[in-house]
Chains A and B, each alone.
Chain A
Amino acid sequence: MTEWLPVVVLPALMLVAALLLRIAQRRLRTDETVLVDAVDALLPQTQCAQCGYPGCRPYAEAAVAGAPLDLCPPGGAPTQAALEKVLGRSAGDRLPTPGPVRAVIDESQCIGCFLCIEACPVDAIVGAPQYLHTVLEDRCTGCELCLDPCPVDCISLVPASEYANTPSEPASLIADEPCIRCGRCQPVCPEALHPDVLWWTSRARQPDAAVDQGLKDCIECGLCNQVCPSGIDLVGVFTDAKARLQIEADLQHEAERSRALYEERQQRLARQAVLASERRAARLRAGKRQW
């Protein structure tokens, strides 16, 4: 009898464990929308559909469900890296990093056909049929969706002027570390910051840590530069790090606005469709022939 006991006890135990897990699985429904929201927030909201999905939100849903992460050309390498980090899987080769671009209409060639206005997902092109069209630069996301419909090829993409002065890698970040940790920069800082710590964190590419240490409070007075015995251009590094943070914030803001514009447009189109079908129904009721 006893030799049969392990054979019974062990499967019974596994069965109990499996049942408990099954119950837990039923109870704890996974809320995927939290993850979709997080992924959607990382996308540039150009709504360009270059990924093959109809917009940024559909792509976010697909990415959470397992779609490749290297499908977003407007986001480029930074977006791909952010997606890989949140979703915990890597997607092979990095996309090239694009500069933000804007569409521009060559107004001497525009024939006023209205096709690009219908294609624009964020209502960035203004104009009326048979009249000249033009692009509102601060609304344009550079999604390229207006290029194809244009019958006279009068639309081109140019680098966005507001990001023309994006700082490149500053020399002092690449050089070997000359800081000897003497701490002389600390007492001279009028904002009571620790310029050396700020410098290390900026150098180690830890923008969050640098902000925690008060990077944004730096008034760029230059006193730390003057006392540094190694002659490090501390303020140069801080200015640069702050500019990067600002650009990131600007892009984030722009993405939020593009999302709002896109959603407004979708709602407007839905309203128009409802109105059109109501008018059609009214005409039918009035007994008029439709043609």
Chain B
Amino acid sequence: MADLALILLGALLVNNFVLAQFLGLCPFIGSTGRYDTAAAMGLATTFVLTLSAAASYLLHHLLLVPFGLEFLRIIVFIIVIASVVQLTERYLRSTSPLLHQVLGIYLPLITTNCAVLGVALLALQQSLSFAETLAYAAGAALGFTLVMVLFAAIREKLDHAAVPAAFAGTPITLITAGILSMAFMGFAGFGAP
């Protein structure tokens, strides 16, 4: 149990996928303009990430390994991720069409979010068990959501700031992302023996 908590916290903070491993930067920059959008995007990604990591684990160990087809894992994982994203999109469209419109192109783009494929592959690489994979995926997903929400809140505040003309817009956004990443470096080494 302590192991699971450690894996979850490790993926959430210490090895945060966005700020420490630099995966999933596209939605991190693209849909953090507004706080609500970022939170919704984080939750949608959380759902996709956890579900696809679990499905990928099961497919890998129940289908690919018995038949000796491990070399197919990337393409199989991508099929899984694309299906789960489509499912999420359908669900959002039927329950909350407005949110679906606001997220727009970034929703189908979760398919190409490298953090999603990264979690499935990294969990495999570290030969985690099923429960550990779930904890790892949940930690990664919550870490992604946390960073999205933090960054969106900072960007809303940035709108009020007197930014020099040369830095206005994207430059100050990237500098802020860098500083936030440095702050997360402070977690490095936590949980190490």
Query: A residues touching B (Cβ–Cβ < 8 Å)?
Result: 2, 5-6, 9-10, 13-14, 17, 20-21, 24-25, 28-32, 34-35, 38, 86-88, 176-177, 179, 197, 200-201, 203-204, 206, 209
The residue that A2 contacts in the complex, of B68, B82, B102, B105, with Cβ under 8 A, is B68
Complex Cα spacing A14 to B79, Å:
7
Complex Cα spacing A13 to B160, Å:
51
The residue that A88 contacts in the complex, of B59, B69, B101, with Cβ under 8 A, is B101
B79 & A13 in contact (Cβ 8 Å cutoff): yes
The residue that B94 contacts in the complex, of A6, A29, A88, with Cβ under 8 A, is A29
With an 8 A cutoff between CB atoms, is B97 at the interface? yes
A87 & B101 in contact (Cβ 8 Å cutoff): yes
Complex Cα spacing A31 to B87, Å:
16
The answer to whether A34 and B97 touch (CB under 8 A), given A14-B79, A209-B156, is: yes
Nearest-CB residue, chain B, relative to A20: B83
With an 8 A cutoff between CB atoms, is B91 at the interface? yes
Chain B interface, >50% SS class:
helix
The residue that B102 contacts in the complex, of A25, A34, A88, A179, with Cβ under 8 A, is A88
The answer to whether A28 and B98 touch (CB under 8 A), given A10-B76, A209-B156, is: no
Nearest-CB residue, chain A, relative to B98: A38
The residue that B159 contacts in the complex, of A38, A86, A206, with Cβ under 8 A, is A206
Q: Which residues on A sit within 8 Å (CB–CB) of B76?
A: 10, 13
Give the most central of B68, B72, B83: most A CB within 10 Å: B83
With an 8 A cutoff between CB atoms, is B75 at the interface? yes
The answer to whether A31 and B98 touch (CB under 8 A), given A10-B72, A13-B76, A88-B104, is: no
Q: List 20 A-B contacts (CB under 8 A).
A: A5-B69, A6-B72, A10-B76, A17-B79, A20-B87, A21-B86, A21-B87, A31-B94, A31-B97, A34-B98, A38-B97, A38-B98, A86-B101, A86-B102, A88-B101, A88-B105, A176-B162, A177-B162, A200-B160, A201-B160
Q: Which residues on A sit within 8 Å (CB–CB) of B105?
A: 88
Q: Which residues on B sit within 8 Å (CB–CB) of A34?
A: 97-98
Complex Cα spacing A13 to B159, Å:
47
0 or 1 for each of B86-107: is its CB under 8 Å from A? (1 = yes): 1100110111011001101100
With an 8 A cutoff between CB atoms, is B109 at the interface? no
Give the most central of B72, B76, B97, B156: most A CB within 10 Å: B97
B67 & A5 in contact (Cβ 8 Å cutoff): yes
The residue that A28 contacts in the complex, of B67, B72, B94, B160, with Cβ under 8 A, is B94
The residue that B87 contacts in the complex, of A9, A24, A177, with Cβ under 8 A, is A24
Nearest-CB residue, chain A, relative to B95: A28
The answer to whether A35 and B97 touch (CB under 8 A), given A10-B76, A204-B159, is: yes
- Would you give the shortest CB distance from A226 to chain B, in whole angstroms? 23
- Would you give the shortest CB distance from B80 to chain A, in whole angstroms? 8
